[in-house]
Amino acid sequence: MLHIINKSPLTSVSLDSCLNTATGGDILLIEDAVYAATRGNAGETKLRAAMGRFKVHVLMPDLEARGLGDRLIEGVSPVDYGGFVDLTSSNKTCQSWL
């Protein structure tokens, strides 16, 4: 399953809900959720701990639009829009966490 998160971990519990509920799969961080994939943020420890259960991806154009392209956590896979499409087509189901 592909879990798509678009809300910042600083203003929403979407990432926490996903990590506490889902058992595995791919996570794609888009829009303001990309803050979770940066070094030094409040949710970094949670995201690193989840990497054993999930493969974590970040939409690189969204990360770069926020000026954070050089702060990506090691182990998070950057994807472009084509990679976003590939993730949606390679997973049988997608869940958007609102």
What pLDDT, in 10s, does the model give residues 52-64? 999 999 999 999 9
What pLDDT, in 10s, does the model give residues 83-98? 999 999 999 999 999 8
Residue 24: band (very low, low, confident or very high) from pLDDT cuts 50, 70, 90 = very high
Q: Is the pLDDT of residue 42 over 90?
A: no
Q: Is the pLDDT of residue 43 over 90?
A: no
Domain containing 6 — which CATH number? 3.40.1260.10
Asked if 33 and 8 count as a contact pair (C-beta separation under 8 A), the reply is: yes
Host domain of residue 61: 2-97
Using the CB atoms, write b or e for 72-90: b if 16+ within 10 Å.
bbeebebbeeebbeebeee
3-state secondary structure (DSSP) of residue 80: coil
Q: How many domains does the chain have?
A: 1
Regarding pTM above 0.85, the answer is: yes
Give the mean pLDDT of the chain: 95
